[in-house]
Amino acid sequence: MDENSEPNNLPEFKLDAKQAQGLLSFFRSLPSDSRAVRFFDRREYYTTHGENAIFIAKAYYGTTTVVRQLGTGSDTLSGVSLSKSMFEIVARDLLLERKDHTVELYQGSGANWRLAKKASPGNFSSFEEVLFATNEMQDSPVIAAVSANFQESGCLVGLSYIDATGRVLGLSEFLDDNHFTNLESALVALGCKECLVPPEAAKSREYRQLIDVLSRCGAMATERGKADFKARDLLQDVGRLVKGPPDPTRDLLAGFGLAAGALACIISYTDLLGDESNYSSYTIRRYDLGSYMRLDSAAMRALNVMESKTDANKNFSLFGLLNRTCTAGMGKRLLHVWLKQPLLDISEINCRLDLVQAFVEDPVLRQNLRQNLKRISDIQRLVRSLEKRKATLVHVVKLYQSTIRLSFIRDGLKQYEGEFSSLINERYLSNLGVWTDDDHLNKFIGLVEASVDLEQLENGEYMISSSYDSHLSDLKKEQESLEQQIRSLHQKTADDLDMAVDKSLKLEKATQYGHAFRITKKEEPKVRKQLNTHFVVLETRKDGVKFTNTKLRKLSDLYQKVLEEYKDCQKVLVARVVQTAASFAEVFEGVACLLSELDVLLSFADLASSSPTPYTRPTITPSDAGDIILEGSRHPCVEAQDWVNFIPNDCKLVRGQSWFQIITGPNMGGKSTFIRQIGVNIMMAQIGCFVPCDSATISVRDCIFARVGAGDCQMRGVSTFMQEMLETASILKGATDKSLIIIDELGRGTSTYDGFGIAWAICEHIVEAIGAPTLFASHFHELTALAHDRHCGIANYHVSAHIDESNRKLTMLYKVVEPGPCDQSFGIHVAEFANFPESVVALSRKKASELEDFSPVTATTSGCKRKHGDQRRQSDDVRRGVDRALEFLKKFAELPLEGMDLKRARERVRSLKEDLRKDASSCRWLQQFF
């Protein structure tokens, strides 16, 4: 927007001097809170003030010309106005996208304002009507609280959370390393949007690591006082919230210390007990870190799991690709959860896969179910409104319209006669049968059909039908009789005045006068005499003369009275219907779960069968048995881009043979895509989805670790190299032989020597100490010597490219071919391909060949050309150097420095250093450090 122009939809500020002064004094009295954006509700529009106003002006209007000054002289306050729709957009962005502010809404006038609503990214239930007035609720906010007890070798973490949409309280306690690896995967799996932390978070070094984890997970950190983390009345509080008998809750809480304190903190922060509709509606559970595949934020990014604002289209992310859900909101929310929580239990995975297979094999059933699911509203949220007593007849009718679809869904599923009919029966039909019977939702249908005037829905009117209640029906009859009498009087008056009814003599109903006759000003002289004698003129305006008489006034007053009574009676009856509808809440919750699951599984089936090359059902084996064999595998998101003609590749991670794979090849050759696609395929399989492969066998992975690209580290003040090392350190600490490791271009952020040494040492550590299947894409071709070294289970692959020597045209083949490293240099060809000037290309060639003669390890791909023996010698040199350096570091770490005086400590360190220097004389790699 032009700096000087103002947006068209900017509401005009209408504050007089007194109001402005009142606001000014109120605003100044508010406690300062840099994260709060405060809005003032002015009925038709909203305003925001002070620094908030400047922030909103810049961030959302793109100009500060929208800022107004209230007050006079030195006592002024900035202000910006927002229309209702702009307010909704801003609130959505602050709470759902940016997740770095809290929002407060004040109501009142002059100097009297009160805080009406408050929301934060993890706790916005009071703002739901604003946030989702016109948009679906696609994700559920989860708020967590963390308390940690630091010990020498790590820490004990107490985590608890509240999922207000699913109405779950969760607790977990676990040991963690100082990178909070376990906590990070739990926060990712829960989709935590905000996390409460103790006050020392800002000061202590250990807690700063925690804040870093929260920022990586996109969760806002909110500090709470120490006293809030005390579980004093927790048992009593939780007892009120949780449904069912108290004993299991008491037993569960007794097993927690830190997490119980954290739970107490969230309950008070979210003021759950302040809303009675929360009572007896929650379930409480222990969250087990080992229930789902663990994914940290780096893996979520590397595998493009969730949508990002920068995605060029929806198929860029797995969520966007899989999201073909059609129920309003519910299916999307469940898909979000499933993507964050891939399964580990083979029978659960197979159960989902069976259902997907059933839907893939029966397109007619799929089509039929979709048609009906499309008409299903967000039952979960509608039920929530019923329970909160915020529901109207509109909510009840939406529930009714969804409910009548259930019998079609049930009948559709009954038609299925394939291999999985008993599963469909057990999982869906038996429940649907009970829920839709005469004791449950058929009763609800009966209630709505008897009570609501369904014919009026077409006119957008939601009314109780008059036949539902005898009093309402009497009032309706009375109203109709009065209408009839008024109509007759209208006719009689027209006859008396010798005017055509409606055409000349109109009958109107206005708020001010009730029923009245109206004629045009032109006709008035014709009947003036009668008007003066038999009628009372109410008003003479341009559009005509309004008049009445005693009879009409009497009838009109009576009509108004009956109408008011009718409305009151409607209100009472609506409240009764809403209350009765709320008694079906539990059944509706079951229905919501079933339908959202069906919705997501149908989406999986749709994607599997509509892709140009259909997906396949993976075979799943336990994590300690079987290999990972993906034949003809593709990256689902890259494949779905219009401009890509995807080349499938095989990946065979075989224990003891090719469990660790080094992938080399030219830039842009498809290395990253290949290694990521293996991670994506495995993850898809474990959420119960078919995979983009010709055939797939997958040994279940408990964790995917990924280190690809430097991400947003610069923005967080961490160097690329440091970020790389931090991510790698957490892989080395957390991975086991049941995990999958994906590493791309490690060591790019430092010197070639260091980078290669680190890459080598890490590969060795993964192979020898961790034993996880690993895909390691690297530009260090010398790494491929690892396979010839003392290790087994390492295989080298390279992506191929073709250079047509006649015209020097470079073609990427994107084929990951076995065996060995690439046998050609492509770096300079790629430069040529990118139209580098000829002189630069020629000089590059010259320098590259000089470097080959001189350097033991080079960063260019020219190393590939060297003779194998030469390459082995250099790799040996680095490997010995790294081993020796690690030994030095180990000895150094073991020195009991705290117990030594300075002189002795210096002597010991000097002696270690001298030993290292001596050994470096026979190792070129080590020499660089002296």
Ligand X SMILES: Nc1ncnc2c1ncn2[C@@H]1O[C@H](COP(=O)(O)OP(=O)(O)OP(=O)(O)O)[C@@H](O)[C@H]1O
Site residues for ligand X per CB under 6 A:
638, 644, 646-647, 665, 667-673, 814
Nearer to ligand X, 263 or 637 (CB): 637
Q: Is the distance from CB of 196 to CB of 220 less than 8 angstroms? A: no
Nearer to ligand X, 213 or 710 (CB): 710
Alpha-carbon span 653 to 818, nearest angstrom: 13
Nearer to ligand X, 439 or 642 (CB): 642
Task: For the beta carbon of residue 85, count every other beta carbon within 10 angstroms.
Answer: 11
CB of 838 vs ligand X, minimal distance in Å: 23
Nearer to ligand X, 143 or 299 (CB): 299
Alpha-carbon span 322 to 603, nearest angstrom: 6
Q: What is the 3-state secondary structure (H, E, C) of 380-406?
A: HHHHHHHHCCCCCHHHHHHHHHHHHHH
- Burial degree of 12 (CB within 10 A; 0-12, 13-18, 19+): exposed
Nearer to ligand X, 570 or 673 (CB): 673
Phi-psi region of 800 (alpha: psi -120 to 50; beta: other; left: phi over 0): beta
Alpha-carbon span 758 to 889, nearest angstrom: 14
CA triple 282-288-292, angle to 5 deg: 105
- Burial degree of 274 (CB within 10 A; 0-12, 13-18, 19+): exposed
CB of 852 vs ligand X, minimal distance in Å: 20
CA distances from 19 to 23, 91, 167 (A): 6, 25, 42
Would you state the structure tokens that stand for residue 533, as one six-digit string? 């004698």
Nearer to ligand X, 113 or 833 (CB): 833
Nearer to ligand X, 261 or 820 (CB): 820
Q: Is the distance from CB of 77 to CB of 47 less than 8 angstroms? A: no
Q: At residue 70, what are phi and psi to the nearest 5 degrees?
A: -100, 150
Q: Is the distance from CB of 233 to CB of 268 less than 8 angstroms? A: no
Edge-first strand listing for the sheet containing 46-49: 68-72, 75-82, 46-49, 36-41, 102-109, 112-119
Q: What residue number has its CB nearest to ligand X? A: 670
Nearer to ligand X, 643 or 854 (CB): 643
Alpha-carbon span 70 to 512, nearest angstrom: 37
Question: Residue 524: helix, strand or coil by DSSP?
Answer: helix
Nearer to ligand X, 643 or 930 (CB): 643
Nearer to ligand X, 457 or 647 (CB): 647
CB of 313 vs ligand X, minimal distance in Å: 14
Q: In 799-930, which ranges are continuous DSSP H helix?
A: 827-833, 838-854, 868-894, 902-920, 924-927
CB of 676 vs ligand X, minimal distance in Å: 8
CB of 783 vs ligand X, minimal distance in Å: 14
Alpha-carbon span 179 to 733, nearest angstrom: 9
CB of 663 vs ligand X, minimal distance in Å: 8
CB of 682 vs ligand X, minimal distance in Å: 17
Nearer to ligand X, 48 or 672 (CB): 672
CB of 343 vs ligand X, minimal distance in Å: 28
CB of 644 vs ligand X, minimal distance in Å: 5
Using only C-alpha atoms, what is the Rg of the chain?
36
CB of 638 vs ligand X, minimal distance in Å: 5
Would you state the structure tokens that stand for residue 194, as one six-digit string? 């905000």
Alpha-carbon span 450 to 130, nearest angstrom: 32
Task: For the beta carbon of residue 813, count every other beta carbon within 10 angstroms.
Answer: 14
CB of 633 vs ligand X, minimal distance in Å: 9
Q: Is the distance from CB of 730 to CB of 700 less than 8 angstroms? A: no
Nearer to ligand X, 556 or 673 (CB): 673
CB of 705 vs ligand X, minimal distance in Å: 18
